Homo-oligomer: A and B are copies of this chain.
Amino acid sequence: MDELLFGAAYYDEYLPTDRIATDVEMMRAAGITVVRIAESTWSTLEPQPGVFDFTHVDRALDAFEAAGIHVIVGTPTYAVPAWLVASYPDVLAVTDAGEGRYGARQIMDITNPAYLLHAERVIRALLAHTAPRPGVIGFQVDNETKHYGTAGPAVQRRFVKHLREEFGGDLDALNAAFGLDYWSNRVDAWEDFPDVRGTVNGSLGAAFDRFRRGLVEEFLAWQAGIVREYARPGQFVTQNFDFDWTPGWSYGLQPAVDHFRAAAAVDVAGVDIYHPTQSRLTGKEIAFGGDMTRSIKGGANYLVLETQAQGQLAWLPYPGQLRLQAYSHLASGADGVLYWHWHSLHHSFETYWKGLLSHDLASNPTYEEAGVFGREAARVGGSLLHLRKHNRVAVMVSNEALTALRWFTLETGFIDGVFGSSAGYNDVLRWVYDALFDLNAEVDFVPADDADLGRYDVLVVPALYAAPQATVDRLDAYVRGGGHLVTTFRTAVADEHLAVWHDTAPHGLTGVTGATYNQFTVPDGVGLTLHGDLAGAAGAEAGARTFLELLRPDGAEVLASYDHPAWDGYAAVTRHRTGSGSLTHLGTMTSPELLRAVLGLVLRDAGVADWAQDLAGTVTVRRGTNAAGRAITYLLNYSAEPVTFAAPVTGRSVLAGADVVAGAEVTVGAWDLLVLES
């Protein structure tokens, strides 16, 4: 699409009255150009098996086509109708919690034949009906697809077959790779394979999770294949990816899907991004989600298929925030922003996940502010569309490491929850991501099997607990090839089966790290002493957190050491140069301030520091090149106070139209932004 998409999900099915004409009018007034329909409405589309009813779909298509509003049609498969479960109860996923009960969405076994048969039937009917419509620009297959913890007998049987294939039928190899000798867990006959839901073996448990992530990839590819049988040229296929939601919003890497692999099934990546607002709006979740979604399709632009309008109760945006959020998505490379959803629901689970319209379906401040953005976007969208990033910094992420750190948590060493709670993988990932964001250092994400790391000047690798030898070798080669690598505690601990390496740690990296350790603990009143380039940096007083490697330098320079009666002979942060490359290693979790200081050193070392770091703490900088090849510079103020600073570049203010000269004093208001095109 060569236009900025701005819109919302629309459910004619859920509206209490016939008001589509009014809605279309209000949408047009707000500059809305696209709606997303049909997702999760299976029971309306097919009220009884094989009986289809396209009334609502047709009404929507007719009205939006007439108004020139584009439509994305979602397949309805992520919420199953009651009749399907009534006839085939095993459509419901059996999980760790046992048998399921009908009611919520996302409760089915995505490998169940009855589910797949009926899903295919409704997809084909819907596609045959809608693909020919000129207003339809693309299709979303399913929604926020995951494996839902499916662990019934059929899934487990497939998993055993999968293991048999992976290990070439060699049970001894499997027992050795997974360490099943421990606690008498060996399996010496395939038919003895136990219900994996009870396992205490992290290798086996993680393999099951990886296998189930594979089911998601298979399912999405299967759906996309069906859809493509009907899609016309130019109609895209997307999926609405989402993130780890631990604190109650889009927070980190999705545990149940490998986005890098799953994204292969779609033409355009879609995503949903939800986040705190009001005094807690920082832009970090928008940037994180955007950087991730762009990265999983190799830097391509993506669609924000869902983000909050009024959202949950605590998310009602302050004046200015909704508009700032919309531009924030564009600043990460989004080509479209769609709200979930147009109207607040009058019933059921998400009644207070509020849309652009409140329950009274009338105008309100949030809707009005959306219109401000919509009308601006109609005017200047061409300058902002198709933003390309040229990031020189990357962060390596890994579903395998995330899963591993649930079996062997940072702060307890045991299965999550067994001996208390612990920070997790995403807490470390966000610790490094947020520090880079705060430094105005934009990043791409790369998966652990990325074979071309050398395209980045700086590579940050948080808590890569488990990785195959090939990844370790590539990290070593990256430094030796002149790259600037940053590693944290709990990196290169175990192989891809979660077997801890039995040589000197960090495995395979001791040469480039220039430091080793063979003991570690959790910090308890451990301070930090800074040295060398890091001396005098802010944030040391918070001390060491979460994990403590007792590092012994072997060639590396010590940037920080522990301040503690028992541990003060050990290093906490080291830097080691190998040729023109370097490896900076963080043996503990520092304060955000101190991490920024460490990363600031690396950026300077790598020659990727520029004026953006000077603006850190004043405004957020996000950059790229637009379709016309011009440089776009976003200067975003995520605060309730206006900020004034010298313009870092010369350019035309895209929103104000005026020219700004580098060095001239500019002011950006509370929850406002300046976009320069140079």
A interface, CB within 8 angstroms of B: 13-14, 16-17, 40-44, 47-48, 76, 79-83, 85-86, 100-105, 107, 178-189, 191-195, 197-203, 248, 278-279, 310, 312-316, 318-319, 344-353, 358-362, 364-366, 408, 411-415, 419-420, 494, 498-505, 518-522, 524-525, 565-566, 640
A179 contacts B348, C-beta separation under 8 Å: yes
B103 contacts A352, C-beta separation under 8 Å: no
Question: Which residues on the B side are within 8 Å of A411 (C-beta)?
Answer: 313
Across the interface, name the chain B residue whose C-beta is closest to A497.
B347
B185 contacts A103, C-beta separation under 8 Å: yes
Which residue in B180, B248, B349, B504 is a CB contact (below 8 Å) of A201? B349
A184 contacts B359, C-beta separation under 8 Å: no
A103 contacts B366, C-beta separation under 8 Å: no
Which residue in B181, B202, B362 is a CB contact (below 8 Å) of A504? B362
Q: How far is the CA of A504 from the CA of B191 in the complex (A)?
A: 64
Q: How far is the CA of A43 from the CA of B248 in the complex (A)?
A: 43
Across the interface, name the chain B residue whose C-beta is closest to A504.
B360
Question: Which residues on the B side are within 8 Å of A365 (C-beta)?
Answer: 519
Question: Which residues on the B side are within 8 Å of A350 (C-beta)?
Answer: 182
Does more than half of chain A's interface fall in helix, strand or loop, or is it mixed? Answer: loop
A316 contacts B520, C-beta separation under 8 Å: yes
9 nearest A-B residue pairs (beta carbon): A179-B347, A352-B413, A101-B198, A103-B198, A43-B186, A79-B184, A102-B194, A47-B188, A316-B521
Question: Which residues on the B side are within 8 Å of A346 (C-beta)?
Answer: 179, 494, 499-502
Question: Which residues on the B side are within 8 Å of A178 (C-beta)?
Answer: 347
Question: Which residues on the B side are within 8 Å of A499 (C-beta)?
Answer: 16, 346-347
| CB of A341, distance to nearest CB on chain B (Å) | 11
A200 contacts B348, C-beta separation under 8 Å: yes
B313 contacts A412, C-beta separation under 8 Å: yes
| CB of A18, distance to nearest CB on chain B (Å) | 12
Q: How far is the CA of A498 from the CA of B359 in the complex (A)?
A: 13
Q: How far is the CA of A347 from the CA of B82 in the complex (A)?
A: 44
Across the interface, name the chain B residue whose C-beta is closest to A171.
B47
B351 contacts A82, C-beta separation under 8 Å: no
- Name the residue in A82, A193, A494, A498 with the highest tally of chain B Cβ atoms < 10 Å from its Cβ: A82
Question: Which residues on the B side are within 8 Å of A43 (C-beta)?
Answer: 180-181, 184-186, 188
Across the interface, name the chain B residue whose C-beta is closest to A191.
B86
Which residue in B42, B85, B181, B520 is a CB contact (below 8 Å) of A14? B181
A360 contacts B278, C-beta separation under 8 Å: no
Question: Which residues on the B side are within 8 Å of A41 (C-beta)?
Answer: 181, 184
Across the interface, name the chain B residue whose C-beta is closest to A51.
B188
Which residue in B48, B362, B413, B566 is a CB contact (below 8 Å) of A278? B566
